[in-house]
Amino acid sequence: MAAFWSASIWTVRETYGLRAVAGCCAVMAAIMLAASCSAADSQGKPVYDDPAATDADFPVQGEYAGEVEVDGQRFSYGVQLVAEGNGSFMAVGYPGGLPGAGADMSRKFTGKGVRVGEGKDAVVKIEGVDADGVAYRGEVRDGAIVVLDGSRELARLPKVERKSPTLGKAAPEGAVVVFDGKSLDGVEGGRMTDGGLLMQGVKSKATFGDATLHIEFRLPYQPQDRGQARGNSGAYIQGCYEVQMLDSFGLEGLDNECGGIYKAARPDVNMCLPPLSWQTYDINFTAPRFEDGKKVANAKMTVRHNGVVIHENLEIPEGTPGGSNGEGQAGPLYLQDHGNPVRYRNIWIVPKS
């Protein structure tokens, strides 16, 4: 394997408007930034909340997956290509496939891409080192990462678009509809976009104890921002226990990143999809128990992020910072406003009692 990658030469070539790039264990890719911004934050950095109005890097960032044949054997690989602004990218390679789909997280690695040139002739040169310590380079064309040995093509890894299996799931009988795109009747302090999406910073009128919840959310594209400034919000169960929302596509997967229970637990796997993709949380929540005003059992929850279990029957010893409510037997769903344009749709709760 090491000999294969050391023989590979990589370059990333951009065709203007191309929605492609891809990757593999040693593949990292990127493309150009061009185009004007549709919005900007208070520091002048671009903030995009509409997939139809972004920049030249947006069509290139995303997920890529496929197989590479080495010595007669086929190996699956995945790559997440993360736009970092101004033609720069971080790429994360996963032997085995993408996160939640076979990735060997112990062998993941990162690389960098920088655009050289302008327009249709722009080339993004990629450099990185794989999990075996082998340096690599390569090329992107026709919607895929092309793995090369000199000028010889060895493999193609196409761009893929994964969707949550519960995306668009209808509210079952007995559910309390928090938001369905038709009105703000189910929330307090609600605001809705012209396109019928719920904006951040709202609280459900309904309160609940034990329940299952379905939440669909879309994180903005903020390529030049980092950390907690990049698409930040949170779903506070009972207004008290935060399941973090953050554009942590391609990142480590910490307790303060997407899917983390803030200050309590990191997700078992980082299932965050690229920004401006619709994502889902499906949460099975058990409220804390109280006797004579004293808590006798902690809250618990199982969380599925885009259909993959990231917390299973996790016990949460106390409320997390930033919530609207303290611990109790019942409380609302609170969607935090952290200053970023996170959007929501199709939210419902099924109380268990």
The pLDDT of residue 213: 98
Residues 132 and 211 in one domain: no
Residues 144 and 279 in one domain: no
Higher pLDDT, 27 or 258: 258
Cβ partners under 8 Å of residue 151, min gap 6: none
Q: Is residue 201 part of a domain?
A: yes
Q: With cut-offs at 50, 70 and 90, classify the pLDDT of residue 69.
A: confident
Residues 187 and 151 in one domain: no
Question: What would the two tokens of residue 330 be?
Answer: 């019942």
Residues 17 and 101 in one domain: yes
- When pLDDT is averaged across residues 223-237 and rounded to a whole number, the result is 91
C-alpha to C-alpha distance for 265 and 253, rounded to whole angstroms: 10
Residues 51 and 132 in one domain: yes
Please report, rounded to a whole number, the percentage of residues in the chain having pLDDT higher than 90: 61
The pLDDT of residue 70: 74
Q: Is residue 86 part of a domain?
A: yes
Q: With cut-offs at 50, 70 and 90, classify the pLDDT of residue 119.
A: low
Q: Is residue 33 part of a domain?
A: yes
Single out the residue in 135, 160, 185 at which a domain terminates.
160
Single out the residue in 160, 195, 218 at which a domain terminates.
160
pLDDT tens profile 302-346: 999 999 999 999 999 999 988 889 999 999 999 999 889 999 999
The pLDDT of residue 46: 94
Residues 262 and 327 in one domain: yes
C-alpha to C-alpha distance for 26 and 45, rounded to whole angstroms: 31
Q: Is residue 165 part of a domain?
A: no
- When pLDDT is averaged across residues 244-264 and rounded to a whole number, the result is 95
β-bridge mates for residue 211, sequence order? 285, 351
Range of the structural domain that residue 180 is part of? 176-351
CATH of the domain at 234: 2.60.120.560
H helix intervals, the chain: 2-7
Higher pLDDT, 293 or 281: 281
Question: What separation in angstroms does the CA of 266 have from each of 91, 185, 243, 269, 315?
Answer: 22, 34, 10, 8, 13
The pLDDT of residue 124: 66
The pLDDT of residue 306: 98
Higher pLDDT, 229 or 151: 229
Residues 148 and 271 in one domain: no
Q: Does 164 score more than 60 pLDDT? A: yes
Question: What separation in angstroms does the CA of 328 have from each of 69, 93, 238, 268, 317?
Answer: 56, 43, 8, 27, 13
Q: Does 113 score more than 50 pLDDT? A: yes
Single out the residue in 160, 189, 210 at which a domain terminates.
160
Q: Does 157 score more than 60 pLDDT? A: yes
Q: Does 2 score more than 60 pLDDT? A: no
Q: Does 274 score more than 50 pLDDT? A: yes
Q: Which amino acid type is present at position 227? A: G
Residues 122 and 23 in one domain: yes
Q: Is residue 185 part of a domain?
A: yes
Q: Does 16 score more than 80 pLDDT? A: no
Q: Is residue 184 part of a domain?
A: yes
Q: Is residue 73 part of a domain?
A: yes
Please report, rounded to a whole number, the percentage of residues in the chain having pLDDT higher than 70: 82
Residues 183 and 322 in one domain: yes
Q: Report the number of distinct structural domains present in the chain.
A: 2
Q: Is residue 168 part of a domain?
A: no
Sole residue written with tokens 């279990």: 309
Q: With cut-offs at 50, 70 and 90, classify the pLDDT of residue 127.
A: confident
C-alpha to C-alpha distance for 350 and 62, rounded to whole angstroms: 33
Residues 101 and 153 in one domain: yes
Residues 323 and 187 in one domain: yes
The pLDDT of residue 68: 81
What is the average pLDDT score of the chain?
84
- When pLDDT is averaged across residues 110-123 and rounded to a whole number, the result is 73
Cβ partners under 8 Å of residue 290, min gap 6: 296, 328, 329
The pLDDT of residue 72: 85
pLDDT tens profile 170-198: 999 999 999 999 999 999 989 999 999 99
Residues 217 and 268 in one domain: yes
